[in-house]
Amino acid sequence: MAKHNVTGAQGEEAAQQFLKRKRYRVLERNIRTRLAEIDLVCRSPRRDTLVFVEVRARTENNAGSPEESIGRAKRTRLVRAAEAYVALKNYTGMYRIDAVCIVFSPSGEILRINHYENITE
């Protein structure tokens, strides 16, 4: 497996555990639509909002931060993927798109993890 795929899988697992500690309930993982992949689908701690989570992970020695990698085009694809998901599931409640950005050391230790709510506003 390519190093970036390993980092991505490690990031998704770390993000899932991080969100669980914040009392999010992970409903699904790696949902593919024709528009984009949704890394995590969660229920918010108050259970009133469906949360689509984009996970971005980098190693410390990579150029750029994970936050910088979520540009306008990616956000647009995420919105369309979320819209397709809620239409498919006939979901009529509130939802939002969050991001969890993680930086790992070269040895795999989490150096930084940040949760950004509602990244498409």
Please tell me the distance from the alpha carbon of residue 87 to that of residue 89, in angstroms, as a whole number.
Answer: 5
- Angstrom distance (rounded) from CA 49 to CA 57: 25
Q: What structural domains and CATH numbers belong to the chain?
A: 3-116 (3.40.1350.10)
Give the pTM: 0.92
Residue 66 has pLDDT above 90, yes or no: yes
At residue 2 the predicted structure's pLDDT band, cuts being 50, 70 and 90, is very low
- The residues that bridge with 40 in the sheet, in sequence order, are 29, 53
Query: What's the rounded Cα separation, in Å, for the pair 55 and 52?
Result: 10
Q: Which two tokens stand for residue 108?
A: 């795999």
Q: What is the mean pLDDT of residues 76-99?
A: 95
| Average pLDDT of span 53-78 | 90
Buried b (16+ CB within 10 A) or exposed e, 33-69: eebbebbbbbbbeeeebbbbbbbbbbbeebeeebeee
Band of residue 52 on the pLDDT scale cut at 50, 70, 90:
very high
The confidence score (pLDDT) of residue 7 equals 74
Nearest to 115 by CA among 62, 67, 58: 67
Beta-strand runs (E) in 1-121: 25-32, 37-43, 49-59, 94-104, 110-116
Residue 5, pLDDT > 80, answer no
Report, as an integer, the average pLDDT of 44-68: 90
